[in-house]
Amino acid sequence: MKKIIINGGRPLKGEVTISGAKNSVVALIPATILSDEIVTLDGVPDISDVASLIEIMTLMGATVERDGETLVIDPRGVKDMPMPFGKINSLRASYYFYGSLLGRYGRATVGLPGGCDLGPRPIDLHLKAFEAMGAQMTMDGTSMNLSTNGEQLHGTGIYMDTVSVGATINTILAAVKAKGRTVIENAAREPEIIDVVTLLNNMGAHIRGAGTDIITIEGVDYLHGTRHQVIPDRIEAGTYIAMAAAIGQGIQINNVLYEHLESFIAKLEEMGVRMIISEDSIFVEKQEALRAVHIKTSPYPGFATDLQQPLTPLLLTANGKGTIIDTIYQKRVNHVAELMRMGATIETVGDRIVYHGPNKLTGAPVKATDLRAGAALVIAGLMAEGQTEITNIEFILRGYSHIIEKLQQLGADIALVEEV
């Protein structure tokens, strides 16, 4: 069993460089299945989700070469076969294989996806879109079969009942090689969608409107190879900015795009956090006397649900009382009980989290219940007096590239320990 041991209370300073976006790359890798030539991705983060995707791609017949942060993918050998179930279940984003396999072969057989348990993430939206384009779904035990029965997928108008990044990307993947025009209304607007569309358009797809709520796809027959730079991970960036504000003595965060974090940074400024924002970096100064604020998550460009947990330890340092309401994943409250074990004045009341500050945290044994809760506990451990031991850390390694090394370089006393 692996765990993270932190001896807290040490001041952190220096620089940290943000890796490529996890939520982009988990869609970019399956998207390459649609290509008729070799695709190269640069800036690929070193996280376990990527390793799982490479393994799935290889099992399906693709050739994948990895050199540092570069992946060279030759998808031409990918076979029309059921997906390897064991791997799929550990990985939420495995559902992007539905869209790309449907788009390439007109059928896909996949196990149901895994990932962090954050409550309902309706796959129904995806299925509704695929069915509108001519695919039919049948269930077979724990696997799902999608098929067009030998016909080509056809373009159509699709209205998304709720704003969903996953369903928007999956519909785009299925539509790229479909016959005719597909129009997605009420589409999600996240930067990761723009990133996926940039890759596809550079391969020869005809997609307009990414980043707006109406996306139009004109189907094409052939996609050629390309080389693509993954966007920086805005959630990793927000996590390090929150940590720097909570315990930093002056930390510069490099490879970060301010426009992807505007609502998050606006909240920090409302708290009184002092930052110097440059074109591709943010310098976070040493803070004092922060104010409590109310957080309400909403789809992009609103406050990201993925950042409410990493921000919570910083909120605990602020003066006053505040609330957090997550409108996207209501079950995203598992970090609260763990922070209470460290002495935080925080609780869940109905559908919201209520906190009172400032708090002095003390080290304790805690458990990461999901990826972003794990990040919150790492920050809390760095702030706390004494030793914090975090278990269940596989979740953290799923989404934060070289987190231990990056924090050690800033001066943190943190180690990954393997217990036999």
Residues within the annotated binding site for UDP-N-acetyl-alpha-D-glucosamine? 92, 121-125, 306, 328
Q: How far apart are CA 344 and CA 18, in angstroms?
A: 29
Q: Which of 56, 116, 247, 293 is catalytic?
A: 116
Terminal Cα-to-Cα distance of the chain (whole angstroms): 6
> What sign does the dihedral 148-79-125-222 (CA atoms) show?
negative
DSSP string, 287-305: --SPBP--EEB-STTSB-H
107 phi and psi, to 5 degrees?
-160, 160
> What sign does the dihedral 267-270-275-278 (CA atoms) show?
positive
Q: How far apart are CA 236 and CA 399, in angstroms?
A: 8
Annotated binding site for phosphoenolpyruvate: 22-23
Q: How far apart are CA 14 and CA 135, in angstroms?
A: 52
Q: How far apart are CA 87 and CA 94, in angstroms?
A: 9
Query: Is 116 part of the annotated catalytic residue set?
Result: yes
Q: How far apart are CA 241 and CA 259, in angstroms?
A: 15
Query: What are the catalytic residues?
Result: 116
